[in-house]
Amino acid sequence: MIPTSHYLFLSLALFTIGVIGVLTRRNVIIILMSIELILNAVNINLVAFSRMFGNVNGQIFAIFVITDAAAEAAVGLGIIIAFFRNRPTVLADEMDILKW
Amino acid sequence: MFAPIEDLYRLAPELVLCTFGILVMLAEPFVPRKRSGLVAFLALLGAGAALAATRLSWAHPGTAFYGLVRVDDFSIFLHFVVGAVAVLVILGSRDYLEREGLHRGEFYALVLFATAGMGVMVSAQELVTAFIGLEISSISSYILASFRRNVPKSNESAMKYFLLGSFATSFFLYGVALVYGATGTTLLSRMDSASGNPTLLRLGLGMIFIGLAFKVASAPFQLWTPDVYEGAPTPVTALLSSGPKAAAFALLLRIFDTVFAASQLWVWAIWVSAALTMFAGNLAALVQSNVKRMLAYSSIAHAGYILVAFAARNEIGTAAVLFYLVAYALMKLGAFTMVTHLGGEGERRLEINDYAGLGSQQPAAAAFLTLYLFSLLGLPVTAGFLGKFYIFNAALKSHLVWLAVLLAINTVISAYYYLRVIVVMYMREPQKEWAATPIPRAVGLVLVLTAAGTLYLGLFPNYLMEFATQSAVLPR
Amino acid sequence: MSLELVLFFVLAAMAIGGAVSLILQRHPIHSALSLIVVMVALAGLYLLLGAEFIAAVQIIVYAGAIMVLFVFVIMLLNAGVEARTNVSRMARYVGLPLGFFLTVELAYWIAGGAGRQAPVSAGPTPTRELARMLFREFVFPFELTSILILIAILGAVVLAKKET
Q: Is the pLDDT of residue B432 over 70?
A: no
CB-nearest partner of C139 from B65, B143, B149: B65
Distance CA C120, CA C118 (A): 6
Residues of B in contact with C159 (CB under 8 A): 143, 146, 149
Distance CA B180, CA A45 (A): 9
What is the count of structural domains for chain B? 1
Predicted pLDDT of residue C85 = 41
What CATH code is carried by the domain that includes residue A19? 1.10.287.3510
Q: What is the mean pLDDT of residues B41-52?
A: 93
What is the count of structural domains for chain A? 1
Q: What residue numbers bound the domain in which A41 lies?
A: 4-91
Predicted pLDDT of residue B348 = 80
DSSP one-letter string for chain C: --HHHHHHHHHHHHHHHHHHHHHH-SSHHHHHHHHHHHHHHHHHHHHHTT-HHHHHHIIIIIIIIIHHHHHHHHHHHT----S-----HHIIIIIHHHHHHHHHHHHHHHHTTGGGPPPPPPPS-HHHHHHHHHHTTTHHHHHHHHHHHHHHHHHHHHHHPPP-
Residue A74 lies in a domain: yes
Q: Is the pLDDT of residue C12 over 70?
A: yes
Q: B interface toward A at CB cutoff 8 Å?
A: 128, 131-132, 135, 139, 142-143, 146, 149-153, 155-160, 162-163, 166-167, 169-170, 173-174, 176-178, 180-181, 184-186, 226-227, 230-231
- C-alpha dihedral (B117, B121, B126, B127), degrees to nearest 10: 80
Q: Is the pLDDT of residue B93 over 80?
A: yes
Which of B157-161, C24-28, C104-108 has the weakest average pLDDT? Answer: C104-108
Residue A97 lies in a domain: no
Residue B41 lies in a domain: yes
Residues of C in contact with B106 (CB under 8 A): 154, 157-158
Greater model confidence, A100 or B283: B283
**pTM of the entire structure?**
0.92
Residue B476 lies in a domain: no
CB-nearest partner of B128 from C106, C138, C151: C138
Helix or strand run (H / E) with residue B70: strand B69-71
**What is the percent of chain A with per-residue pLDDT over 70, rounded to a whole number?**
86
CB-nearest partner of B197 from C105, C114, C163: C114
Residue A42 lies in a domain: yes
C32: CB partners within 8 A, 6+ apart: A33, C67, C70, C71, C74
Residue A100 lies in a domain: no
Q: What is the mean pLDDT of residues B359-370?
A: 87
Question: Does the distance separating the beta carbons of C88 and A93 come in below 8 Å?
Answer: yes
Predicted pLDDT of residue C164 = 56
Q: How many CB pairs under 8 A join A and C?
A: 231
Question: Does the distance separating the beta carbons of B231 and A61 come in below 8 Å?
Answer: no
Q: Measure C98 CA to nearest chain A CA, in Å.
A: 10
Q: What is the mean pLDDT of residues B454-459?
A: 91
Helix or strand run (H / E) with residue B373: helix B363-377
Distance CA C30, CA C24 (A): 9
Q: How many CB pairs under 8 A join A and B?
A: 117
Q: What is the mean pLDDT of residues A2-17?
A: 87
CB-nearest partner of A31 from B128, B139, B163: B163
Predicted pLDDT of residue A83 = 83
Q: Is the pLDDT of residue A52 over 90?
A: no
Q: Is the pLDDT of residue B438 over 60?
A: yes
CB-nearest partner of A67 from C88, C116, C149: C149
Which of B108-122, B408-422, C19-33, C103-117 has the weakest average pLDDT? Answer: C103-117
**What is the percent of chain C with per-residue pLDDT over 70, rounded to a whole number?**
70
Nearest to B96 by CA among B451, B437, B324, B410: B437
B46: CB partners within 8 A, 6+ apart: B16, B17, B19, B20, B21, B23, B24, B112
Q: What residue numbers bound the domain in which B89 lies?
A: 5-471
Question: Does the distance separating the beta carbons of A21 and C126 come in below 8 Å?
Answer: no
B421: CB partners within 8 A, 6+ apart: B291, B294, B352, B355, B369, B373
